[in-house]
Amino acid sequence: MAASRDKYSVLLPTYNERENLPLIVWLLVRSFEQSGNDFEIIVIDDGSPDGTQEVAEQLIKIYGSDKILLRPRAKKLGLGTAYIHGMKHATGNFIIIMDADLSHHPKFIPEFIRTQKEGNFDIVSGTRYKGNGGVHGWDLKRKLIRLVFHSCFVLGRGANFLTQVLLRPGASDLTGSFRLYRKDVLEKLVEKCVSKGYVFQMEMIVRARQLGFSVGEVPISFVDRVYGESKLGGNEIVSFVKGLLTLFATT
């Protein structure tokens, strides 16, 4: 009896991504078609006022309702809950999470899949801090401003270093959001996680280590968004710090 074919469900949480959505979907479709892997793309839009949902509906007409699924919510309810919502509609046995703003390039997905198969990993996480991984697309001024005020606390080495010291999770990039999970593993992790914002990504890896799940890593390039505005701000930084301290106290 032939083994069942793996299928990959990509979860794309969106909020005001009408400019980026067509391109990220096209890149995803091309990547999966070239690699020959079965896939579906689930757009979880949190009530975007810019027409993101209308764009998604057009993409369904182009690529088919079996490949593009729109599963919207009425308002912004947090990144973690967006993944939970999308996972309920996923038919793949593997889940890929990534940003819809072109910060994560789908060209790395085939390497995620190869790494998972070779190491039989439960999770494969993209890392900016190993091998040829890194952050690109910022001029010097943007690097200074963003790295100091945002990346050091939320997306960059500051948060990563702090969590490594406090939580010792054994992974190099805890705050990244480009990952591949076995669906059943993701379901178990979601049951354990209490975070809903940007700390969610970090907690997933910490809980995975606690539960004995294996984590592989693939170096990736993180590229700053071209269209739209960053969702990160002062409130997210405060929430991150609070979440980190809560996670430290409960693990």
| Residue range of the domain that includes 196 | 7-250
Alpha carbons 36 and 39: distance in angstroms, whole number: 9
Residue 188 within any structural domain of the chain: yes
Say whether pLDDT at 216 is over 90: yes
Question: What distance in Å separates the CA atoms of residue 224 and residue 62, rounded to the nearest whole number?
Answer: 27
- Asked whether residue 2 is assigned to any structural domain, the reply reads no
Q: Is residue 47 part of a domain?
A: yes
Is the residue at 30 inside a domain? yes
How does pLDDT run across 138-197, given as a tens digit for each residue?
Answer: 545 445 444 443 444 344 445 555 554 444 546 677 777 899 999 999 999 988 887 766
Cβ-contact 87, 11 below 8 angstroms: yes
Residue type, 26: W
pLDDT-based confidence at residue 244 (cuts at 50, 70, 90): low
Q: Which two tokens stand for residue 7?
A: 């299928």
pLDDT of residue 81: 85
CATH number at residue 132: 3.90.550.10
pTM of this prediction? Answer: 0.79
Give the confidence band of 13 by pLDDT, cuts at 50, 70, 90. very high
Q: Is residue 78 part of a domain?
A: yes
Bridge-based pairing of strands 94-97 and 179-182 is: antiparallel
Q: How would residue 48 be classed by pLDDT, with cut points 50, 70 and 90?
A: very high
Phi/psi of residue 123, each to 5°? -140, 140
How many structural domains is the chain composed of?
1
Tell me whether residue 1 is in a domain: no
Sign of the four-CA dihedral 174, 75, 246, 88:
negative
Q: Confirm if 185 and 87 have CB atoms less than 8 A apart.
A: no
Q: What's the confidence (pLDDT) of residue 66?
A: 96
Q: What is the mean pLDDT of residues 91-97?
A: 97
Q: Is residue 166 domain-resident?
A: yes
